[in-house]
């Protein structure tokens, strides 16, 4: 007797057409963090994908309204925790834009070095795990070996490996030491051979190339209209980099190229990230060669910046200065205005829209997270791909759920 598999008339139409639904996540090795996809499949081909996000929503933007401009830095580095200091630099870039503070040259250079180290840090993880998700565990280990060195550089400067909380309004928590400069120089020496090993394992690897070329294509038009920025947009041929187009920090002083590709597929995004690491290294070397001396804190009206600890503990003037800057009712006033400050974070345009009502804390601080816009494009990219390509596309757009959900 022939077996009638579809015997219930109230099964949905999709099922009768031979489509099936697959739940992907929230916990899955390829999601890296917590996000969920509901995939509609025809055999192995993805017809539609409905992302379901919000598992890591923690109300960061509400907290921005009760913490002052210096305190909130500890929250922003928990957003994209793959490159924590890039968030801190973006946050204080926006705050300083609102308050109209000009940084000292030394502070600008140190922040630039850290921003570029964070770019390498982020790209190493993204490219490494992208390969890992496609089955290449060795390259991942090569990438993580280098990330460890960057953690140590962060620790030497700020005392923390991960959530550094290193920037302050108008400056940095501590100045860097000669020891730190030597560590960064050593990193610049050891990184290129490690990069060659890593790239050699992957870039021409036939399995990797076949799994990523032509997969998850994002056209230039879709990238622009969909709000894609950073490496994802540049891989689709959008020639835009805020470091060159709206120079901030010390980027005007350095010679570097903006890396673009035309394909718009996973391989193009991978290539752009790989090329950007070398450009970042170029910037770090130039910054180290020309690192200016002088203070890391601005000393304009005296209300921005925190005095040196030796001054605070050894002189009454220093103690008063510290008190005036830290006590909530005596801090620097901010203009009653709104300001949008954006930086080129490793993942794309990371901006903060700050509305101030005159206090030293934000009335409203909106994060413009690149991950959110990129993940909203995911269902367009994955349409028509195979089920096994989901991991490749997810890996190539580098979704960080903590930043996605905030």
Partner 1 sequence: MSETKSLKESLESKLTGIPLSWSEFRSQQRVTVPASNIAVALKALRDAGMDQLIDITAVDMLEYPGATDRFEVVYLLLNTNSGERLTVKTHVNEPELKLPSACPIWFGADWLEREVYDMFGIVFDGHPNFKRLLLPDAFESFPLRKDYPVKGRGERHNFPIITRAES
For position 397 contacting partner 1 by CB under 8 A, the verdict is no
Give the contact letters, 57-96, x = binds to partner 1 (CB under 8 A), - = no. Answer: x-x-xxx-xx------------------------------
Minimum Å gap between C-beta 84 and partner 1 is 22
For position 245 contacting partner 1 by CB under 8 A, the verdict is yes
Find out whether 111 and 167 touch, Cβ atoms under 8 Å.
yes
Cβ nearer to partner 1, comparing 209 with 224: 224
For position 103 contacting partner 1 by CB under 8 A, the verdict is no
Cβ nearer to partner 1, comparing 79 with 113: 79
Minimum Å gap between C-beta 404 and partner 1 is 9
- The SS3 of residue 41 is strand
φ/ψ bin of 386: left (φ > 0), alpha (ψ from -120 to 50), beta (otherwise)? beta
For position 184 contacting partner 1 by CB under 8 A, the verdict is no
Q: Among 93, 121, 240, 243, which residue interacts with partner 1 (rule: CB under 8 A)?
A: 240
Give the contact letters, 41-60, x = binds to partner 1 (CB under 8 A), - = no. Answer: ------------xx--x-x-
Provide the token pair at 306: 């925190």
Provide the token pair at 20: 């099936």
Which stretch, 145-153, 203-211, 296-304, 370-378, contacts partner 1 (CB under 8 A)? 370-378
Q: What's the CA gap between 267 and 56, in Å, rounded? A: 29
How far from chain centre, in Å, is Cα 57? Answer: 17
For position 336 contacting partner 1 by CB under 8 A, the verdict is yes
- The SS3 of residue 285 is helix
Supply angle C-alpha 232, 165, 93, rounded to 5.
Answer: 55
- The SS3 of residue 350 is strand
Provide the token pair at 88: 């801190």
- Please, which residues have CB within 8 angstroms of residue 3's CB and are 6 or more apart in sequence? none
Q: What's the CA gap between 143 and 149, in Å, rounded? A: 11
Contacting positions for partner 1 (CB under 8 A): 53-54, 57, 59, 61-63, 65-66, 97-98, 100, 222, 224-229, 238, 240, 245-246, 335-340, 342, 349, 351, 353, 355, 357-358, 363-364, 366, 368, 372-373, 375-377, 405-406
């Amino acid at each position: 007797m022939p077996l009638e598999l579809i015997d219930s008339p109230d099964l949905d139409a999709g099922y009768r057409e031979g489509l099936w639904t697959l739940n992907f996540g929230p916990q899955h090795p390829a999601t890296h963090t917590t996000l969920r996809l509901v995939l509609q499949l025809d055999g192995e081909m993805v017809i539609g994908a409905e992302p379901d996000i919000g598992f890591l929503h923690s109300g960061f933007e509400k907290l921005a309204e009760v913490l002052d401009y210096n305190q909130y830095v500890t929250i922003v580095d928990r957003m994209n925790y793959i490159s924590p200091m890039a968030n801190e630099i973006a946050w204080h870039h926006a705050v300083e834009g609102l308050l109209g503070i000009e940084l000292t040259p030394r502070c600008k250079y140190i922040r630039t070095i850290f921003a570029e180290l964070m770019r390498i840090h982020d790209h190493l993880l993204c490219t490494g795990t992208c390969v890992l998700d496609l089955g290449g565990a060795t390259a991942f280990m090569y990438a993580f070996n280098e990330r460890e060195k960057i953690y140590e550089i962060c620790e030497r400067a700020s005392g923390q490996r991960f959530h550094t909380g290193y920037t302050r309004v108008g400056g940095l928590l501590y100045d860097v030491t000669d020891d730190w400069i030597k560590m960064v120089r050593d990193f610049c020496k050891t990184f290129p051979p490690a990069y060659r090993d890593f790239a050699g394992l992957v870039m021409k690897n036939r399995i990797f190339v076949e799994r990523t070329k032509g997969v998850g294509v994002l056209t230039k038009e879709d990238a622009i209209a969909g709000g894609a920025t950073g490496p994802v947009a540049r891989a689709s041929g959008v020639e835009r980099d805020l470091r060159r187009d709206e120079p901030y920090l010390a980027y005007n002083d350095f010679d570097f190229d903006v890396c673009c590709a035309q394909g718009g597929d996973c391989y193009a995004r991978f290539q752009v990230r790989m090329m950007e690491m070398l450009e970042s290294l170029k910037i770090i070397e130039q910054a180290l060669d020309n690192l200016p001396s002088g203070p890391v804190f601005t000393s304009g009206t005296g209300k921005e910046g925190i005095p040196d600890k030796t001054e605070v503990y050894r002189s009454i003037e220093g103690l008063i200065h510290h008190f005036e800057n830290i006590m909530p009712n005596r801090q620097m006033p901010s203009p009653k205005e709104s300001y949008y400050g954006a930086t080129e974070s490793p993942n794309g345009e990371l901006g903060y829209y700050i509305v101030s009502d005159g206090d030293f804390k934000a009335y409203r601080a909106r994060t413009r997270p690149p991950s959110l816009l990129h993940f909203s494009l995911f269902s367009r990219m994955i349409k028509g791909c195979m089920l096994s390509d989901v991991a490749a596309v997810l890996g190539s757009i580098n979704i960080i759920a903590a930043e996605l959900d905030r």
